[in-house]
């Protein structure tokens, strides 16, 4: 993978703005990670669009998903 320093700076700036706009996201994620992400945990994502439509996704985590979140947590948080 090729990491472009300019893109890393943009990502850092975008992340900072996101954290400022949504201060409850990080505490929520930390609480979830502290409780633990385990196999068979269910994750639901619901998106409400301004036009009144909704999109939702539900999934049950597998062991390989848990391993992915472990790597992600150790890399980003």
Question: What's the rounded Cα separation, in Å, for the pair 1 and 23?
Answer: 31
53 or 4, which is more confident? 53
Nearest Cα neighbor of 37 from 77, 68, 3, 4 is 68
Q: What are 1-47's pLDDT values in tens digits? A: 677 888 889 988 998 999 999 999 989 988 988 898 899 999 999 99
> Is the pLDDT reported for residue 75 higher than 80?
no
Query: What is the pLDDT, as a whole number, of residue 77?
Result: 59
The DSSP line for 5-24 is HHHHHHHHHHHHHHHHH-TT
Q: Hey, which of 18-22, 33-37, 66-70, 73-77 has the most confident mean pLDDT? A: 18-22
Domain ranges of the chain: 1-35, 37-77
Give me the mean pLDDT over the 39-65 stretch: 96
């Amino acid at each position: 993978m090729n990491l472009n320093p300019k893109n890393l700076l943009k990502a850092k700036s975008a992340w900072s703005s996101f954290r400022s706009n949504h201060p409850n996201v990080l505490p929520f994620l930390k609480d979830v990670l502290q409780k633990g992400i385990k196999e068979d945990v269910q994750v639901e994502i619901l998106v409400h669009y301004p036009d009144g439509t909704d999109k939702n996704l539900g999934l049950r985590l597998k062991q390989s998903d848990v391993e992915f979140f472990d790597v992600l947590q150790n890399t980003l948080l």
